[in-house]
Structure 1
Amino acid sequence: MSDFDVIIVGGGSAGATLAGQLSEDPKLRVLLLEAGRRDVSPWIHIPATFFKIMHKGRDAVMIEGEPEAQLDGRPFVVPQGRVLGGGSSVNAMLYLRGQPADYDGWAAMGADGWGWDEVLPVFRALESNDTFDDAYHGTDGPLSVSAPRHRHPLSEAFVAAGAEAQIRPNPDFNGARQEGIGFFQTTTRKGRRCSSARAFLAPARQRPNLTIMTNAPVDRVTIENSRATGVRLADGREITARREVVLSGGAFATPLMLMRSGLGPRDQLDAHGIPVIRDLPGVGENFQDHAIVPIEVKTRQPVSVVGEDRMPRGALHMLRYLWDRGGLLSSNMVEAGGFVDVGGEGRPNVQLHFMPGYNAAKGVMQIEGHGVTYSVCVLRPRSRGTVKLRSSDPAERGIFRSGVLSHPDDLALSLKALRMGLSLLDQPALTAVLGDRKRPAPGPDSDESLTDYIRSHAKTVYHPAGTARMGAADDPEAVVGADLRVRGVGGLRVADASVMPCLPSGNTNAPTIMIGARAARFIQEQA
């Protein structure tokens, strides 16, 4: 348990990528520690059944925040993958990078070398796209990116309604322009999910220099003379690392591990009797997430996906899927969407997601019958939250306040976005297939009533980030530098979505995988 060069804590989107790529160097002995189990559930690998993972609760955990006044007194609840592949094993598989200005913004905030010109080649090298081969896309990388095998007629109607509303059709949200409406590409390969565990770990498992330990939660990093020497598991065992420890636990687990290791805001560490090794006030601050506001509408005919998982139709769909990996089960369900500029900002600031069924999220009161759900999402929120220690016990999940909608600009833009989303219901393509609106409840749609609805129904779209952010050396809130090294501690890096200075304008899985790949490159270059 001591013969390792690099220990990676967390086998999610970034950690699995990092372990797979780093172990390509036979001179490096790599240990990957994952708190959850292997990705053995069949529901993980069939695209349409990812919601079953959330409901079963074994390979995903619900991080429940404190009640928040701006959310109508509700806690903000964020699911997190607890399985090899992490979020990439339980998400809706959308492949989106964001906008070039997002990464140039990171560089301007002190993450030198993370501008668009630096990260685009990494995205291209990682990608194996089955549709596009151009300056924006790669075709021979380990991460499979595919066009949809299944397009539901209701999803087609939504895209058509967007075009009728003068939102331009866009076949490639990761190309020259993000703005428009269309069908998402997904991280799938021949009708199966392509998580980071499948793309990067599966080819690496037989390498003698890579060890993967599952069901191995970590308490803290062990540090001597201001240098990371290894980790202590939650069961008390210690493992040493000759060169580096990399935390890839995500926006919740990573800051808590840092604080339990004596790295974080002095007042929090003192309050829990943890010796302060480095006073890093930014640890656990800067929490961000994308929040969606759902619109749910009844269909005129029973043509949505509601009930399609029940017998006998479920069995027929499974037979079709086993035959050729096609049909409804090959769908990621969130098939269509788009990016729009609401209010003339100059680039898209709102994302649309469409699902040909009612919202099936855990904890959401279900609507009877057939219907659709589509949502609006503010892409670059200004609201910020926190993740703090509840105690020094690694079994405790911490005190979480999302801060979602706490900034008035986010609430104002959400209102404009919701009105734009509701206006799509007037387009002929949707009036032909949709009936009564269920949520928000039909009414006068005053600013007050819609604002109340936003506060009471906004929910996560599973993109927590920012709690150990990158920044310049003179930035007191920065936790890591541009090389992902933790300030003031040798041999310790962070590689996950927590290092993002701010959210990219879209889903976070692809950017997080990119962060894992860059961490591998940094370690290899400096080894």
Structure 2
Amino acid sequence: MQGYDYIVIGGGSAGCVITQRLVAAGKGVLLLEAGKPDNHPFIHIPGTFVRVIGSPRTWMYRSEDEPGLKGRPMHVPQGRTLGGGSSVNAMIYIRGQHADYDHWAEQGAEGWGWEDVLPVFRRAEANQRLAGPWHGTEGMLRVSDTRHRHPLSYAFIRAAQEAGVPYTDDFNGARQEGAGFFQTTTMEGRRGSTAATYLASVRGRPNLTIRTEATIEAITVENGAATGVRFRTPDGGTHQAAAREEVILCAGGIGSPKVLQLSGIGPAAHLAGHGIDLRRDLPGVGENYQDHISAPVYGQTREAVSLLGHDRGWRSIRHGLEYILTRSGLLSSNIVEAGAFVDTGGAGRPDVQIHLTPTLVGDVHRAAPPGHGITINPCILRPTSRGSVRLRSPRVEDPVVLRTNALGTEEDIATLVRGVKLSRRILRAPSLARIIEREILPSAADEVADEVLADHARTVAKTVFHPVGTCRMGRDGMAVVDPQLRVHGVPRLRVADASVMPTLVSGNTNAAAVMIGERCADFLLRTGS
């Protein structure tokens, strides 16, 4: 059995960060990733990320039938390649609101308040345009403005202002509220995943071993402490690796609780029901599942001005040549270029985020409406619904039992209805009204009852791909890790990914996952408290 100082399970947004920091410090690291290498060109070209979703580079998780979604399942794609979510997402760089992190600290995650995490965000960031008290310029994570901006994105931002939403040029500054263009984790027109930034800086070093297509069977535990990992490879072989120091689990909001449960760490009764030997009874493993849920509003344009058809024929050839020659044009865009954060409920901070897509977009289970148009996609920033992740069987190859409980509370459906109503007002504001012929869904009528909008939301609601919370950080009986990300009662084992978030951050989760990876490395290397 080969030994390493540290074993990192999962080469995603946080896992690559931790690996880089440990390797750069001279530690011997084994990085295990279930997916393939990040060597497909569509991963690295920003505008082709939509081709990666649903490919072998993603896990296609499927929930049970959801009561809040009128009995249909939720499909939750997640990264399955080096870089994880940062290799397949829309590259939007959002940290969340200051109050999100202060709330973490109030829930028992001491040392994770805004003043604690801001220096880590700044240290990680290399921002193309912004500096000062809110932004870093010398970090590993490249953050830039998109090189291409679609006319419909500009029209949306103007229309949002006409509907009463102020303009902002920085969603990650003193205040998040407003409408504007997102900054993205891109560099010189290419995706800047944590594999292409952090991990790339240490690839080839003798103290780093990377194994892709490595399926984790279990974390090995002896005398109550984590000692290593058992995994299998595509040739059918089963291997074991030992960790001299620690094992760090970074398999994500759905993968991490699955690995813990397969390893005998989780709710005792659930594990016993599957015949899994109990290593540590932790009832919170797999609980507290949260995700951002959205409900699109569709508008049909008067002219053929959307992105429909740009991925085929002579236009796709033109876009490809422009990108190859200049690293600019449509393929340098993250497509979801513009958006907004709005306080729709009077809470004093935004409770709805809007993503604008300059074309009509469907979902895994639902085709997009035909023709040219735009999709205004409001989502709930801080859902009150909670779901769970459980084993279906003790076989690693079997999918989990995922219950998202999406739109499971009246508060969540009310917030989403407010977001839909705001999106409809923006669609009718002058800058878009000149372009939009009619609203396709939820209704072409100007006045629509809240009950109709709620039914629309339940019919079309979809994930924004941000599952978190299933290995929650805290001190109480349902917490899984402590504020230094150590698994309660299992020495030499930590979890460091979006699963440790006590509650969702108010926005896209990748930046926060990178910050969590940075902090975990600080703890391991004793460079931070």
TM-score by length of 2: 0.97
Letter in 2 for 1:465: V
- The Cα shift of 1:206 comes to 1.8
Q: 1:463 aligned to 454, 458, 466, which one?
A: 466
Residue 484 of structure 1 corresponds to: 485
Residue 387 of structure 1 corresponds to: 389
Residue 69 of structure 1 corresponds to: 67
Distance 1:482 1:183 in 2: 34
Letter in 1 for 2:164: Q
Distance 1:450 1:162 in 2: 20
What secondary structure sits across from 1:243 in the alignment? strand
Contact 2:218–2:259 (Cα < 8 Å) also in 1: yes
- The Cα shift of 1:436 comes to 1.6
Letter in 1 for 2:448: D
Residue 516 of structure 2 corresponds to: 515
CA shift digits 1:58-86 (9 cap, x unpaired): 10121000001111111011001110000
CA shift digits 1:355-378 (9 cap, x unpaired): 111105433212221111111111
Residue 18 of structure 1 corresponds to: 18
Distance 1:516 1:459 in 2: 27
- The Cα shift of 1:526 comes to 8.3
- The Cα shift of 1:179 comes to 0.3
Q: 1:310 aligned to 302, 309, 312, which one?
A: 312
Contact 1:44–1:89 (Cα < 8 Å) also in 2: yes
Q: 2:402 aligned to 387, 400, 403, which one?
A: 400
Contact 2:75–2:364 (Cα < 8 Å) also in 1: no
Contact 1:127–1:137 (Cα < 8 Å) also in 2: yes
Aligned ranges for residues 46-85 of structure 1 at < 5 Å? 46-55=45-54, 57-85=55-83
Residue 222 of structure 2 corresponds to: 224
What secondary structure sits across from 1:119 in the alignment? helix
Q: 1:141 aligned to 136, 139, 142, which one?
A: 139
Letter in 2 for 1:226: G
CA shift digits 1:435-463 (9 cap, x unpaired): 12112133452122111111111100000
Q: 1:113 aligned to 90, 107, 111, which one?
A: 111
| Structure-2 change in CA distance of 1:526 and 1:492 (3 Å) | farther
Contact 1:230–1:245 (Cα < 8 Å) also in 2: yes
Q: Gaps spanning 5+ residues in structure 2: where?
A: none
Aligned ranges for residues 215-294 of structure 1 at < 5 Å? 215-234=213-232, 235-294=237-296
Distance 1:478 1:45 in 2: 37
Distance 1:368 1:470 in 2: 44
What secondary structure sits across from 1:462 in the alignment? coil
Contact 2:363–2:462 (Cα < 8 Å) also in 1: no
Contact 1:51–1:361 (Cα < 8 Å) also in 2: no
CA shift digits 1:21-50 (9 cap, x unpaired): 111111x10110000011011000111100
Residue 154 of structure 2 corresponds to: 156
Distance 2:251 2:442 in 1: 36
CA shift digits 1:217-254 (9 cap, x unpaired): 10110000011010111453211111100110001111
Residue 426 of structure 1 corresponds to: 428
What secondary structure sits across from 1:523 in the alignment? helix
Residue 176 of structure 1 corresponds to: 174
Contact 1:51–1:360 (Cα < 8 Å) also in 2: no
Distance 2:406 2:368 in 1: 24
Distance 2:35 2:214 in 1: 7
Distance 1:73 1:250 in 2: 26
Distance 2:309 2:208 in 1: 43
Residue 339 of structure 2 corresponds to: 337
Letter in 1 for 2:417: L
Distance 2:370 2:14 in 1: 39
Residue 350 of structure 1 corresponds to: 352
Q: 2:89 aligned to 88, 91, 94, which one?
A: 91
Distance 1:204 1:149 in 2: 28
CA shift digits 1:173-207 (9 cap, x unpaired): 00111000000000000100000101111111021
Q: CA RMSD in A?
A: 1.2
What secondary structure sits across from 2:341 in the alignment? strand
- The Cα shift of 1:397 comes to 1.8
Distance 1:69 1:176 in 2: 39
Structure 1 runs (4+) deviating above 4 angstroms are none
Alignment partner of 1:445 is 2:444: no
CA shift digits 1:330-356 (9 cap, x unpaired): 110000001000021101111011011
Alignment partner of 1:367 is 2:385: no
Distance 2:111 2:406 in 1: 29
Distance 2:438 2:115 in 1: 47
What secondary structure sits across from 1:208 in the alignment? coil
Distance 2:205 2:110 in 1: 34
Distance 1:399 1:140 in 2: 42
Q: 1:454 aligned to 437, 453, 457, which one?
A: 457
Distance 1:325 1:297 in 2: 31
Letter in 1 for 2:490: V
**How many percent of aligned residue pairs carry the same amino acid?**
50
Letter in 1 for 2:488: R
What secondary structure sits across from 2:65 in the alignment? strand
Residue 124 of structure 2 corresponds to: 126
Distance 1:222 1:203 in 2: 30
Distance 2:15 2:132 in 1: 28
Distance 2:163 2:441 in 1: 21
Contact 1:54–1:362 (Cα < 8 Å) also in 2: no
Residue 36 of structure 1 corresponds to: 35
Letter in 2 for 1:448: E
Letter in 2 for 1:380: R
Q: How many residues align?
A: 523
Letter in 2 for 1:68: E
- The Cα shift of 1:276 comes to 1.3
Letter in 1 for 2:146: P
- The Cα shift of 1:209 comes to 0.8
Distance 2:255 2:332 in 1: 32
What secondary structure sits across from 2:353 in the alignment? strand
